[in-house]
Amino acid sequence: MFVKGRYILEVRALPTGTSEADYLITKELFESFDNEDIKAANVECKVQIDKSEQLIYLSLLFEGVITVECDRCLDNLDIKISHNDSLYLKFSNGEEQTDENVIAINEKENVFDLSQLLYESVLVNKPLRCVHGEVGEGECNKAMIEMLGRQEQMNEEMEEIDPRWAALKKIK
């Protein structure tokens, strides 16, 4: 299960200037947010950090693969994740957020938990429609596609209107 502190950035321990941190995003992160859509994950996140007196700039580079179910055949589908993101951490007295790319953290905080940010960044870059051949390699399960075709035929046959109801449609 998800280990608390695995995606922690120790903001007070960071030296002024530039530094780096690496995080490996796995299935456990998604399970900790009760997300069952991600079947497996192996995404590296490289974080370039530039710290000044009152501000920390984070540049995040995501590279890896997540496994989800194909929306058509329900077989596993690997999707490549490659994404850059950036944001600022601003030290302040309150927890106010001034901008979507600026996160205000309390001056007294020693750490910042990146887990929510990493989770959302991967999900935002997952395609809305995940189908073999469109966003991932491989082909859909042929047996499932045949079954879907038969179901579609049955649906079309059922849509034929009963003659008794057809007479009612004429009344308007």
Q: Write the DSSP string, 58-90.
A: EEEEEEEEEEEE-TTT--EEEEEEEEEEEEEEE
The pLDDT of 52-56, averaged and rounded, is 88
Q: What is the pTM of this model?
A: 0.78
φ/ψ (deg, to 5) at 145: -65, -40
Residue 137 is predicted with a pLDDT of 73
- Which residues, other chains included, contact 56 with Cβ-Cβ below 8 Å and sequence gap of 6+? 11, 14, 49, 50, 88, 89, 90
Residues facing 90 on adjacent strands: 55, 104
The pLDDT of 75-103, averaged and rounded, is 84
- Which residues, other chains included, contact 16 with Cβ-Cβ below 8 Å and sequence gap of 6+? 51, 52, 53
Residue the block writes with tokens 């209107």 = 161
> Hey, how many other C-beta atoms are within 10 angstroms of the C-beta on 45?
23
Whether the predicted pLDDT of 83 surpasses 50? yes
Whether the predicted pLDDT of 116 surpasses 50? yes
Pairing of strands 8-9, 55-69: unpaired
Whether the predicted pLDDT of 63 surpasses 70? yes
Compute the half-sphere exposure of residue 80: CA atoms within 13 Å on the CB side of its CA.
Answer: 7
Residue 150 is predicted with a pLDDT of 76
- pLDDT band at residue 5, thresholds of 50, 70 and 90? low
- pLDDT band at residue 1, thresholds of 50, 70 and 90? very low
Q: Which structure tokens are listed for 46?
A: 């490289």
Whether the predicted pLDDT of 16 surpasses 80? yes
DSSP for 101-124, written as a single string: TEEEEETT---EE-HHHHHHHHHH
- Alpha helix stretches (DSSP H) within the chain: 27-32, 115-124, 142-159, 163-169
Residue 162 is predicted with a pLDDT of 66
Whether the predicted pLDDT of 2 surpasses 60? no
Indicate the average pLDDT of the chain.
84
103 in Cβ contact with 14 (< 8 Å): no
Q: What angle do CA 116, 52, 101 make, to 5 degrees?
A: 35
Whether the predicted pLDDT of 105 surpasses 70? yes
Q: How much of the chain, in percent, has pLDDT values that exceed 90? A: 47
Residue, of 160 and 65, whose pLDDT is higher: 65
